[in-house]
Structure 1
Amino acid sequence: MFEVDEVLRVLALLRHAGCEVWIGGGWGIDALVGKATREHRDLDLMHRVEQEPLLIRTLEAAGFVEQPDALPGRPVRFVMADPSGHELDLHPLLFNPDGSAVQHADTRGGTFPYPADSFVVGVIGGVEVPCLSAAQQVYFHQGYDPGDRDRHDMARLREAFGIATHF
């Protein structure tokens, strides 16, 4: 499981190396609401594609190893894990001059858009952290059959922000 201290350690490690990342997924939602609301098996991080070589070197130096069998795999995302089982789900973003970004959605040229206002600040363990906005989180939670964690996460966003979600 990914605990608060480990999230903050990874973020500090990457920030110190000069890597710009934003938290998504369950930890991103917890950052938006300002507290951990459930257990997390991984940490989703969006990063600048041009910083990927530095990001990988930094994580490898900290003991993380790429997991080549993780699907859907590159170019959409890739996974790195450390010997303790901490798993990072890494999403490369290509930024536009206006601050918006795109991420590959598949190998056929599809993309996920990230409007410029998708990149915000939340709080984990009393520390301000970069994360994805509530609107972007809701956008990513559509078009599939939700699991219990998905329903839990969307309920937290509804409670905290009074926004509509798909489930």
Structure 2
Amino acid sequence: MDALLGKQTRDHSDLDLWVPAVHLDPLFVAFGEAGVDRIFPWPGDRPWNFVLHDGVGLRVDLHLYEALADGSLHYGSVVDGAAFPAEALAGHGFIAGTAVRCESAEWAVRCHTGYPARDVDRHDVPLLCRKFEIPLPESFEP
């Protein structure tokens, strides 16, 4: 969220990363070299979505996906997974002044609706909608 906004707007407990599943092995090596090498068990963890941490305060929430032959992306199990357009991860943003690829603003808004909104959603979604001129979802209107 804050990458899309180009600045930190609230405290975050972790950094969410979308990663092609084929890059998991080299990613483990890179994070291990940085000391982020422990799996942080969390309710609802799945093989395609889990948290790595350093044992102190750094946490990275990994979301693994696979590219499908038709160009879409697959997230989740073989049985219950979902395909979504590659454009969903074609966003551009900034973290501490560094350009990063990230979710598109439209996809980020879509992924943070459809369930009871949390306080962080009530904070993030209106900011994204305002900046990217996306209609505010009805459930977020005052």
**TM-score bracket for this pair, using the shorter chain length:** 0.7 to 0.9
**1:61-105 deviation line (CA, Å, top 9, x unaligned):** 21113325223222230110013311110011101245431110x
User: Larger % of helix: which?
Assistant: 1
Residue 114 (1) aligns with residue 84 (2) = yes
Partner amino acid, structure 2, of 1:95: A
Q: Secondary structure at the match of 1:38?
A: coil
Indicate yes or no: 2:113 matched with 1:132. no
Of the candidates 59, 80, 83, which is equivalent to residue 87 of structure 1? 59
TM-score (norm 2): 0.85
Whether 1:41 aligns to 2:13 is yes
Whole-angstrom CA distance in 2 between matches of 1:76 and 1:143: 21
Match of 1:147 among 95, 113, 118: 118
Letter in 1 for 2:35: G
CA contact (8 A) 2:75 2:82 kept: yes
Percent same amino acid at aligned positions?
A: 36
CA distance in 2, matches of 1:139, 1:113: 14
Please tell me whether the aligned partners of residues 66 and 78 of structure 1 are also in contact (alpha carbons under 8 angstroms). no
SS at match of 2:135: coil
For residues 1-167 of structure 1, what are the structure 2 equivalents within 5 Å? 29-67=1-39, 69-104=41-76, 109-118=79-88, 119-166=90-137, 167=140
SS for the counterpart of 1:74 is: coil
CA RMSD, Structure 1 to Structure 2 (Å): 1.9
List gaps (5 residues or longer) in structure 2: none
- Give the conservation status (yes or no) of the 8 Å contact 1:98–1:116: no
Q: In structure 1, how many angstroms separate the alpha carbons of the residues matched to 2:54 and 2:104?
A: 28
* Residue aligned with 2:23, SS: helix
Mark the runs of 5 or more structure 1 residues left unpaired by the alignment.
1-28
Q: TM-score when scaled to structure 1?
A: 0.74
Alpha carbons 1:121, 1:129 under 8 Å: kept: yes
Shift of 1:144: 1.4
CA distance in 2, matches of 1:125, 1:79: 22
Counterpart CA distance in 2 for 1:80 and 1:160 is 31
Higher radius of gyration, 1 or 2: 2
Q: How many residues align?
A: 137
